[in-house]
Amino acid sequence: MKNVFKSSEPEEIQKYKKKNAAESNKWKSFRRTGAYNSVRETLIKDQKGLCAYCEIDLHPQDRCVEHFIPRNQSTPENNYDLDWQNMLANCRGGMENIDISEEENERRISQPPNRFACCSAAKADFIPNEKFLNPLKLPTLRLFRFSSLDGEIRPDANACENAGIPFEYVQFTIQTLGLNVQRLKNERVAIISEITQELDQRDDGIINPILLKKQIASERFGDGKHDWPAFFTTIRWVLGKGAEEHLVDISYLG
């Protein structure tokens, strides 16, 4: 889970709300318009192709629009259904059949459906409280660390302290979103192992270790103008200071 840098409200939403000002402006009605797909694609573009919670890549058959504050909390005064700042693009939580060929996505080593949900499916109608982190309000620094043994995501105590975010808030968010379901842990282990092997293979005993990690970060993250690789924060953690230096170089904003 990482900071999401959001663009301005799409014109399609503005036009719909203006045209239907006298109506309830509910999400179900909006979804029946041709503007829905455009709005969803804008969310995905803002997030550079990743689920706002687990950071898996958003495949055409495995993506949805999530309302951070559930739509059932909408009132005439607070219309969460069509609040642009309340929308995120997420995966479907690993609970539905999806057809992803090996050619399309070699990284997904375990595919849905699974027994345990994550992300939107795990969160369901939970009403966010102060302990539940909003991706739109996260700092750009990394708040999480990972186990290289089992891929478990955990709060980074030092980063939490530096950001002024209580350790227990980060842990609560991980638990609420089911970010340690086995499917996600397996995929993180694969990513960590892959990069660790690459570091070993490219270490000639002369190159500065941080410079090598920065080179690999540059290759994986690019210039920040295109989609991020899946499990961005996991990769960032593995590459450590090298990743941080590269992200500074490309003026990383999330």
pLDDT digits (tens, 9 = 90+) for 74-114: 888 888 999 999 999 999 988 666 655 554 555 555 555 56
The β-bridge partners of 57 are: 50
Q: For residue 17, what pLDDT is reported?
A: 84
- Dmax of the chain from CA atoms? 69
In a domain, 173, yes or no: yes
Report pLDDT for 96: 64
203 DSSP β-pair partners: none
For the segment 20-38, the average pLDDT, to the nearest whole number, is 79
List C-alpha distances in Å: 244 to 153, 165, 184, 216, 236.
19, 20, 24, 12, 7
In a domain, 5, yes or no: no
Domain assignment present for 194: yes
4 contact partners, CB below 8 Å, separation of at least 6: 46, 47, 52, 88, 135, 136, 138, 254
Residue 219 lies in a domain: yes
User: What is the Cα–Cα distance from 130 to 108, expressed in whole angstroms?
Assistant: 33
Can you tell me the mean pLDDT for 39-61?
94
Residue 243: band (very low, low, confident or very high) from pLDDT cuts 50, 70, 90:
very high
Domain that holds residue 72: 11-249
Residue 139 forms part of a structural domain: yes
Q: Residue 173: beta bridge partners?
A: none
Mean local confidence (pLDDT), 47-52: 96
Q: What global pTM score does this model have?
A: 0.90
For residue 50, what are the β-bridge partners?
57
Q: What angle do CA 250, 253, 254 make, to 5 degrees?
A: 115
pLDDT of residue 31: 86
Average pLDDT taken over every residue of the chain: 90
Q: Is the pLDDT reported for residue 211 higher than 70? A: yes
pLDDT digit string (tens) for 128-169?
999 999 999 999 999 999 999 999 999 999 999 999 999 999
Q: Which residue's entry shows tokens 């045209």?
A: 19
Number of domains present in the structure of the chain: 1
Q: Which long-range contacts (CB under 8 A, 24 or more apart) does 205-212 make?
A: 209/242, 210/240, 210/241, 210/242, 210/245, 211/242, 212/242
Mean pLDDT of 43-65: 93
- Asked if the structure places residue 135 within a domain, the reply is yes
Cα–Cα distance, 103 to 96 (Å, whole number): 20
